């Protein structure tokens, strides 16, 4: 089963309405019966309206198209309201990248596994954004929420959820992704990532042309991580930069640490030859150990790979698929 493609065009309101109509079932399930602190959500919404009013306009249009309360849909975007406890780890996602000097065709390659709860792969959608005044954008995520994306300026945005201790009220990190993807340079994208009004942050894996790096962020700090000396980069769901370790809220990161070590090992092994997209998909499909990169959870509460993607940043193409990379049908998006 392939991932459906939604085309969002026109004004921000038009785009939001198209996405809301196409993902209405998912939106309604997400807000149905959900309880939230209205006053607290309004504070997050206020920060977002002040700094990113057009993102809120899109969400409100999506809510109207899906026939739900706009504030309830906005609350669903505030992942900071379900802050990870000291014993819970974030979602299990893995990123690997190879600089042009390592690849068969001299292209910069970035690969990502997005692991969510078992069954979430059924709600994954791709969205092509052709919004007035913006570069064309291609994204993957659940319903209206963007997990990863790329734009026609050659900007690639993937990454991993982390658990920072310093979350506060501000622009929800989930909404920042939409803003970052409108930027056409790494410099501007980094400025958007580090917006001073952000509520929290991810580990962002950003790439363009021949440059790739991680930006480990929290609400109040951030540090960049360059590729290793061998030209590879890998990241999972915990802080690794020495200056960010004190921001780690999760008391248990063994699984993420194991996946990171395995990803690094596989990337190093790949250097015996040249790195290809086929090889990166093999790495994403690895089942070694108790914390595999390719996860096949089936019971409620299990973590499972919901989608995977491999971006050829140089050629501006994205290969992707629903569910596990070891067995799903590959799809291709090409920026024209």
pLDDT tens digit sequence for 6-40: 999 999 999 999 999 999 999 999 999 999 999 99
Q: What are the structure tokens assigned to 319, written together? A: 């290969």
pLDDT at 86: 41
In this structure, the number of other CB atoms found within 10 A of the CB of residue 173 comes to 25
**Interval 106-114 mean pLDDT:** 98
| pLDDT band (50, 70, 90) for residue 90 | low
Contact yes or no for 72/38 (Cβ under 8 A): no
Residue-wise pLDDT for 282-306, tens only, equals: 999 999 988 899 999 877 778 899 9
List all residues 6 or more positions away from 133 whose beta carbon is below 8 Å from its beta carbon.
Answer: none
Boundary (domain end) residue, out of 28, 61, 82 = 82
Q: Are residues 156 and 59 in the same domain?
A: no
| Residue at 89 is within a domain | no
| Residue at 140 is within a domain | no
Boundary (domain end) residue, out of 50, 82, 114 = 82
Q: Are residues 54 and 113 in the same domain?
A: no
Q: Are residues 77 and 100 in the same domain?
A: no
| Residue at 130 is within a domain | no
Q: Are residues 194 and 298 in the same domain?
A: yes
* Containing structural domain, residue 236: 94-125+148-334
Which pTM was predicted? 0.96
Q: Are residues 34 and 121 in the same domain?
A: no
| Residue at 131 is within a domain | no
**Interval 151-156 mean pLDDT:** 98
**Interval 178-200 mean pLDDT:** 98
Q: Are residues 196 and 329 in the same domain?
A: yes
Mean pLDDT of the chain: 95
Domain count, the chain: 2
- CA 205, 170, 197, 164 dihedral sign is negative
pLDDT at 91: 65
| Residue at 87 is within a domain | no
């Amino acid at each position: 089963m392939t991932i459906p493609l939604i085309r969002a065009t026109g004004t921000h309101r038009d785009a939001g309405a198209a996405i809301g109509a196409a993902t209405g079932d998912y939106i309604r399930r997400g807000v149905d019966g959900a309880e939230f602190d209205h006053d607290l959500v309004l504070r997050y919404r206020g920060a977002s309206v002040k700094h990113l009013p057009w993102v809120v306009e899109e969400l409100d249009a999506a809510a109207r198209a899906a026939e739900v309360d706009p504030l309830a849909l906005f609350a669903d975007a505030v992942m900071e309201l379900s802050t990870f406890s000291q014993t819970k780890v974030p979602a299990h996602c893995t990123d690997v990248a190879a600089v042009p000097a390592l690849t068969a065709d001299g292209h910069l390659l970035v690969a990502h596994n997005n692991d969510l709860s078992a069954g979430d792969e059924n709600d994954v959608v791709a969205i092509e954004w052709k919004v007035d005044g913006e570069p064309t954008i291609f994204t993957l995520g659940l319903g209206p929420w963007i997990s990863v994306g790329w734009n026609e300026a050659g900007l690639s945005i993937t990454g991993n959820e982390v658990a920072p201790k310093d979350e506060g009220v501000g622009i929800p990190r989930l909404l920042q992704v939409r803003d970052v993807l409108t930027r056409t340079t790494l410099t501007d994208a980094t400025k958007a990532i580090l917006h001073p009004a952000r509520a929290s942050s991810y580990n962002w894996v950003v790439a363009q042309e021949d440059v790739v790096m991680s930006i480990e962020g929290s609400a109040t700090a951030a540090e960049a991580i360059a590729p290793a000396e061998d030209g590879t980069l890998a990241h999972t769901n915990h802080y690794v930069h020495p200056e960010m370790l004190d921001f780690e809220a999760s008391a248990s990161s063994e699984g993420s640490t194991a996946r990171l070590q395995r990803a690094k090992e596989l990337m190093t092994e790949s250097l015996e030859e040249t790195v290809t997209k086929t090889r990166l998909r093999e790495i994403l499909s690895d089942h070694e150990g108790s914390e595999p990169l390719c996860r096949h959870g089936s019971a409620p509460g299990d973590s499972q790979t919901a989608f995977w993607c491999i971006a050829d940043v140089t050629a501006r193409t994205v290969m992707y698929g629903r569910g596990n990379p070891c067995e799903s049908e590959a799809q291709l998006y090409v920026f024209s």
